[in-house]
Structure 1
Amino acid sequence: MLDPQPFPIDHVLRGDPGAPALILREGVATFARVEQDVARLAGWLATKRFAAGARVATWLPKTRVASLMPLAAARAGLVHVPVNPVLKRAQVAHILADSGASLLLTQGARAATLEDGDVPAGCEVAVEAGAGDSLPRSHADPAALAAILYTSGSTGRPKGVMLSHANLWLGAVSVAHYLAIAPDDRVLGVLPLGFDYGQNQLFSTWYAGAGVAPLDYLTPRDVIKAVERVDATTLAGVPPLWTQLLEAEWPAKAAARLRRLTNSGGALTPAMVRALRTRFPQARLFAMYGLTEAFRSTYLPPELVDAHPESIGRAIPFAEVLVVRPNGTQAAAGEPGELVHAGPLVAQGYWRDAARTALRFRTAPPFSRHGGTAVWSGDTVVADDAGLLRFVGRDDEMIKSAGHRISPQEVEEAATAGAEAREAVALGVPDARLGQAIVLVARGDAADEPALRERLKRELPAYMQPVRIEWRAELPRNANGKLDRARVAASVKEQQA
């Protein structure tokens, strides 16, 4: 039986003291060693004498410190803000300023890219973590804020989703339970630690008493080698990664090692489901759907995957998932509606953004069993007679590319920050490998494209780079004088036809 009682997230190290907990290239740390390292890292943070609840940011690859900081910050009474290591200085500067961070822990080479004004007053930059006196496990209120994860919205810059100890703890319990992670499992962590599921891979693995191997990779071959090197049993990915891994050569023994595959960050196609089932016949395949504002909403049990390859499944443990008509009533089977998520996995809202919080975090519909505040996803789904959900589409303008949720406005702001493009509209177009690829429609001169691309490479991460730039003398406007995104999108679609 699942225990719904949440604890402070730094209590999540539950494995046998002598068992492997963290598997890195430089060596394997047992649960006892990880507990000790967390305690001393928390002690180092305590020497900074930050106010309780101060935000501490990490901008790091998947190092030992990056893996331990979520627990150490919580133990020290601070709020962790993980920054995706692929982000560039402009995005980092926004996150530091928006979160009001008191500390940025990073590496020397990354710190050197920051310019004057990027680091707000009162924020210390450290390129090495120290070790202080060991702090005991915390007695934090499970409802207290533990982390802020930044995610792009359909408009504007990334916004911070506020997650409590209870959100993180119950997410770990839920995933460890429905994936049936066992102490002898080895989970290969290829997802970024700044993503909700990337971070949850640490927590759910440790809650189950198993070992996790965080991995930064450049090519699919790196992933395959890591599966062999750490004897991985579990691999989580997003559809573009699965496409790359399916195209790569897998040694039969490596493919047979995997017991469990989990997908998030975009729906699997039936063809991809069949290919994964063929390539990894020993592995149980879990299709999942989630959003940072509620961590994860649904999963499809592996025994149903072959018969329902298009489904995102049912609610995960602790989640209540509802399909709601525009008038707020419950949609019938076969009827499209908005996916609404209620229950204890619902986040606390957006950091210092009451307006956007009020739009997404609203009272649950009257027929909700749980009630309280719910996340209204803006995504349309359909439930069949058995209650299995199928994703229909997104109602906002987010671009979903290579597992990333990308704000069009963020790309557009970067494109028009220089002299090359006077106006721009960023769109997502279907792409077999990426899910969606970014097309930038710009008002300006095509002769300026090389300069624009060179600047975008400096200012935006690789996954935000447009695959194509279309140049126009003018862009259409609507009656309010705003750029008419629908007409721009229609013109791009016509050119592709």
Structure 2
Amino acid sequence: MGNSTLLPELISCTADRAPHSTAITYGKDSLSYESLQQQVTALASGLLSLGLQRGERVAIYLEKRFETVIASFAAPSAGGVFVPLNPLLKAEQVSYILRDCNVRTLITSPERLSALQGVLSDCHDLRHVVLTHADCALPEIPGIHACHWNSLLEVPYKRGHRVIDTDMLGILYTSGSTGKPKGVVLSHRNMVAGAKSVASYLENNSNDTLLAALPLSFDAGFSQLTTAFHSGARVVLLNYLLPRDVLKAIENEKVTGLTAVPPLYIQLTQLNWPATVTEHLRYFANTGGRMPRETLDALRRHLPKTKPYLMYGLTEAFRSTYLPPSEVDKRPDSIGKAIPNAEILVLREDGTPCSPHEPGELVHRGALVGMGYWNDKEKTEERYKPLPVHAPGREAGLMLQEIAVFSGDTVRMDEEGFLYFIGRRDEMMKTSGYRVSPTEVEEILYATKMVGECVAFGVDDDRLGQAIQVIATPIDGVAIDVEALMAECRQRMPAYMIPAGIDIRHGPLPRNPNGKIDRKTLSTEWCEKQPR
């Protein structure tokens, strides 16, 4: 394990000490650490030849493949900022992100670029498009220079812009309560500290093989890369269609570490596990929501020798807590304690610490606290705030303020310091591991021009964590064709955002005192009417 301070050094340090070790596997092909380092350096030079300036954004709109990994490390190696885009996003959502963070360079495939043709004219800062396929014809896009990936790899070496560990490294977009995605800004320090922390408690080493089943646009998905590269381990990239594909990959690649969201684990428990899977899988870990007790028990029956790690994290602070495997039998509902190099506080509204078992807000302090939300001062000030004067770790003689992440999640802490999740304080929905804004769903429904009013909310679901439910009213009394509306949703939304159900009501929806549609009341009424 190297003494990395910048993200690209996670690769270069391992390449120096173990150049021929396998870094990543995709399909039947693999790249050694030496080869990966060479391609990262080459692409960084290519990006610099396009005029990439320090801090400029490079968006990556690809499924998991070698180029996705190389580009994610090459952009910061050149001194730029990488912006990973979820491959499930539709054109309008991609366009919003490209515009929001003023992306100058987009790396994508010809097929994905074709789907974006109708929105690129709105992306006024976009100057370059890099296509991954060498044999494709370069499109002519007004005001945008298109080039092939391979042509950038052939550019003579150029030294990247000087950066330090507190410089901006990447922007990870997550749904926001305003309906538009929020860009969480992370520094080199955040990512590297996170890699070292996670690797330490998962006990990762150069003998590990980690399965990258989560999207690399997720903090936990990208963490599979950073943790592995810090440890000198191998990462297997997997774009799976069926849960059975995950089991096959674990078996065929002799995977030792799996991190996934609860909905995938639920599906996996319903399959027959080959005995060879259990021979190599050293641990499994959850992210993106609480692991249902039944699912945890079923996994442990399938994997009696595999260590379970129950985790909790925020994109705004990468990872916050974990429950050691030795504590799972004793307290399976706990989210554990703070990860290494972080402190988790449970505070009252006045900033004072809560007593044992008293509900309060989870506050994260330490090296993993991000740099705020891109281009959103108001939301940044809501979530990233100075540590209160009464909080542990805040001494009166300190003149500079320390910024911590106030999660918006309510938790309690027992007498031994173990944390228990109670609920989310905002209206965000968490489904299939994704954070989804109800307003974002509603805006898309309104865009169909098939509804008069609508409201979206999350309801508890054993498989998804939360399922998205919608209540809508017709326009001027004209009946809503629910099947046609659902078809529009499938056309306009990523799969994880599509409502599980749409109920039709007549007349205006109830309002709260501020004149807004009363989401909470509607959600409560809907749940009370469901059969128990």
* TM-score interval, smaller chain: over 0.9
In 1, Cα distance between equivalents of 2:450 and 2:117: 22
| Offset of residue 331 of structure 1 | 0.4
Q: Is the 8 A contact 1:323 1:381 kept in 2?
A: yes
| Offset of residue 73 of structure 1 | 0.5
Other-structure match for 2:80: 78
Pick which of 109-118 and 384-393 moved more.
109-118
In 2, Cα distance between equivalents of 1:248 and 1:394: 32
When residues 134 and 203 of structure 1 are mapped into structure 2, their CA distance, relative to the original with a 3 A threshold, is: farther
Residue 412, structure 1, aligned to residue 442, structure 2? yes
The amino acid across from 2:99 in the alignment is A
When residues 282 and 134 of structure 1 are mapped into structure 2, their CA distance, relative to the original with a 3 A threshold, is: farther
Q: Is the 8 A contact 2:262 2:465 kept in 1?
A: yes
Other-structure match for 2:230: 207
Aligned with 1:286 (options 309, 313, 321): 309
In 1, Cα distance between equivalents of 2:107 and 2:499: 30
1:114-150 Cα shifts (integer Å, max 9, x gaps): 2434451231333222313345687521000010000
In 2, Cα distance between equivalents of 1:77 and 1:32: 21
Other-structure match for 2:7: 9
Aligned with 2:469 (options 436, 439, 445): 439
Q: Is the 8 A contact 1:185 1:211 kept in 2?
A: yes
Percent identity, please: 42
| Offset of residue 41 of structure 1 | 1.2
- Write out aligned runs for 1:96-495 (5 A): 96-118=98-120, 119-123=122-126, 124-128=128-132, 129-130=149-150, 131=153, 132-134=155-157, 139-366=162-389, 367-369=391-393, 372-444=402-474, 445-474=478-507, 475-495=509-529
Other-structure match for 1:33: 35
When residues 25 and 138 of structure 1 are mapped into structure 2, their CA distance, relative to the original with a 3 A threshold, is: farther
Query: Secondary structure of the residue that 1:193 maps to in structure 2?
Result: coil
| Offset of residue 172 of structure 1 | 0.6
Query: Secondary structure of the residue that 2:43 maps to in structure 1?
Result: helix
Query: Secondary structure of the residue that 2:255 maps to in structure 1?
Result: coil
Pick which of 113-122 and 45-54 moved more.
113-122
The amino acid across from 2:406 in the alignment is W
In 2, Cα distance between equivalents of 1:64 and 1:206: 14
1:83-141 Cα shifts (integer Å, max 9, x gaps): 00011111101100101000111111111112434451231333222313345687521
1:447-471 Cα shifts (integer Å, max 9, x gaps): 4222222221111100000010001
Query: Secondary structure of the residue that 1:312 maps to in structure 2?
Result: coil
Q: Is the 8 A contact 2:292 2:462 kept in 1?
A: no
Other-structure match for 2:141: none
Q: Is the 8 A contact 2:99 2:125 kept in 1?
A: no
Q: Structure 1 unaligned runs (5+)?
A: none
1:304-326 Cα shifts (integer Å, max 9, x gaps): 11111101000001111000012
Query: TM-score normalised to the size of structure 1?
Result: 0.97
In 2, Cα distance between equivalents of 1:293 and 1:35: 28
Query: Secondary structure of the residue that 2:63 maps to in structure 1?
Result: coil
Query: Secondary structure of the residue that 1:281 maps to in structure 2?
Result: coil
Query: Secondary structure of the residue that 1:355 maps to in structure 2?
Result: helix
In 1, Cα distance between equivalents of 2:524 and 2:45: 57
In 2, Cα distance between equivalents of 1:47 and 1:166: 27
Pick which of 106-115 and 236-245 moved more.
106-115
When residues 460 and 378 of structure 1 are mapped into structure 2, their CA distance, relative to the original with a 3 A threshold, is: same
| Offset of residue 430 of structure 1 | 1.2
Pick which of 76-85 and 17-26 moved more.
17-26
In 2, Cα distance between equivalents of 1:154 and 1:320: 26
| Offset of residue 272 of structure 1 | 2.1
Other-structure match for 2:137: none
When residues 134 and 281 of structure 1 are mapped into structure 2, their CA distance, relative to the original with a 3 A threshold, is: farther
Q: Is the 8 A contact 1:150 1:159 kept in 2?
A: yes
How many aligned positions are there? 495
In 2, Cα distance between equivalents of 1:51 and 1:139: 11
In 1, Cα distance between equivalents of 2:71 and 2:330: 41
In 2, Cα distance between equivalents of 1:135 and 1:274: 53
In 2, Cα distance between equivalents of 1:37 and 1:180: 28
In 2, Cα distance between equivalents of 1:58 and 1:392: 36
Pick which of 270-279 and 127-136 moved more.
127-136
Aligned with 2:45 (options 43, 61, 66): 43
Query: Secondary structure of the residue that 1:349 maps to in structure 2?
Result: coil
When residues 344 and 6 of structure 1 are mapped into structure 2, their CA distance, relative to the original with a 3 A threshold, is: farther
In 1, Cα distance between equivalents of 2:156 and 2:67: 16
Pick which of 111-120 and 18-27 moved more.
111-120
Query: TM-score normalised to the size of structure 2?
Result: 0.90
Query: Secondary structure of the residue that 2:8 maps to in structure 1?
Result: helix
The amino acid across from 1:473 in the alignment is H
In 2, Cα distance between equivalents of 1:40 and 1:126: 14
Query: Secondary structure of the residue that 1:122 maps to in structure 2?
Result: coil
In 2, Cα distance between equivalents of 1:6 and 1:362: 28
Query: Secondary structure of the residue that 2:481 maps to in structure 1?
Result: helix
Q: Is the 8 A contact 1:420 1:449 kept in 2?
A: no
Q: Is the 8 A contact 1:6 1:166 kept in 2?
A: no
| Offset of residue 446 of structure 1 | 4.8
The amino acid across from 1:329 in the alignment is T
When residues 33 and 6 of structure 1 are mapped into structure 2, their CA distance, relative to the original with a 3 A threshold, is: closer
The amino acid across from 1:164 in the alignment is S
